[in-house]
Homo-oligomer: A and B are copies of this chain.
């Protein structure tokens, strides 16, 4: 890497790859003006070298020969944008071994094999930079790594999946059911043809692995995370929640309690409709991070898309070109987190419970008795008059802070009651706290 010129090789010339090429070519002058470094896009590798892309690239740099990149010692920074977790893993290791710094947006790979890749990066004295892996264009990785470096981070609440947020926003805004909202999202390009990894919470969990590894400095895996998706969310509950002052979001949550125990969760959550995160609608992402010195900070922007994701990839390229590669993985320790993880049974949360009950004398007394037996205190009750042909009616109870274990036990007891019909619906209510900074 010469002082004022850096050569970049790109593998994967799809949507994000085209965006990266576009920025490197079109914003080259302004980037050089600000950084004093000329960024040269020297090589693009893709199996498909014929389909036209939305960017005009210099003649001769596009090839389907990976070795043309790997064996080119003049290339300083290699960008992996092929996705997946097998070929891509192999590729990143080859890139590192050939002496190149790696920039990637591959959250699934980092969540699954991060430990091994960081170790190889360390061994090769090169870095893996991954700003684009979390929340697209929002510079959240650098915020945690550098901006909040003085802090012990103790809480993260993130809307980190644009597909889910788009679907939940549509359901709430248009009073649509899940299937309709999903199909709308697919039509508009906000959801994949196979949306499984988005809607089942898996993608959010990948991002939470990366964010909490950065925040807590330990080796987190998706297995450490309680994951619940939005597939079973009913428009009824969004409606009832709204009536009670709540908005439903899929949240990625990391909380570290005073004893140092860490709770990692991805699940649908009712949050106060007046809170800042509740205002985040459509495909946007937002992440709220609490540090012991800074208090609450929040970051908002586009979590996906060609240019926003490319913006983050190129930010990493620039940081590495300027010599700021070391810190990018210094904070990623590979120490196991298991001992610090708190059991989900110990989670203390508020809960929204909807039961379909027979409209008959004594029904609510039975429900209240079950709650009392499990030491669960009622915070709010909502039962509208009127009932359907089966003489059942939805009865909604919100609780004061209760242990997850007690709630789980109560739910099993509810279904044993004759007067309770279908499986109860249970959604956690997350009260995002005010920070305790005394300014």
A binding-site residues for B, Cβ under 8 Å: 19, 23, 27, 30-31, 33-36, 131, 137-139, 142-143, 146-152, 162, 189, 217, 276, 279, 283, 291-302, 304-308, 310-315, 317-319, 322-324, 326-327, 330-331, 333, 435, 437-439
- 4 smallest CB-CB distances across A and B, nearest first, come from A139-B147, A305-B439, A150-B314, A137-B294
Residue of B nearest to A280 (CB): B276
Q: Which residues of B contact A294 (CB under 8 A)?
A: 137, 301-302, 307-308, 311-312
Q: Which residues of B contact A333 (CB under 8 A)?
A: 33
- Between A and B, 22 residue pairs with Cβ closer than 8 Å are A19-B293, A27-B293, A137-B293, A137-B295, A138-B147, A142-B146, A146-B319, A146-B324, A147-B312, A147-B315, A148-B311, A148-B315, A189-B439, A294-B307, A295-B302, A297-B301, A302-B437, A305-B439, A322-B326, A323-B323, A323-B326, A324-B324
5 A-B pairs besides A30-B217, A299-B299, A302-B435 with CB distance below 8 A are: A146-B319, A293-B311, A294-B312, A305-B439, A324-B324
Contact B276 A300 (CB under 8 A): yes
Whole-angstrom distance between the Cβ of A152 and the nearest chain B Cβ: 5
Q: Which residues of B contact A298 (CB under 8 A)?
A: 298-301
Q: Which residues of B contact A330 (CB under 8 A)?
A: 34-36, 322
Q: Which residues of B contact A437 (CB under 8 A)?
A: 302, 305, 307-308
Contact B308 A293 (CB under 8 A): yes
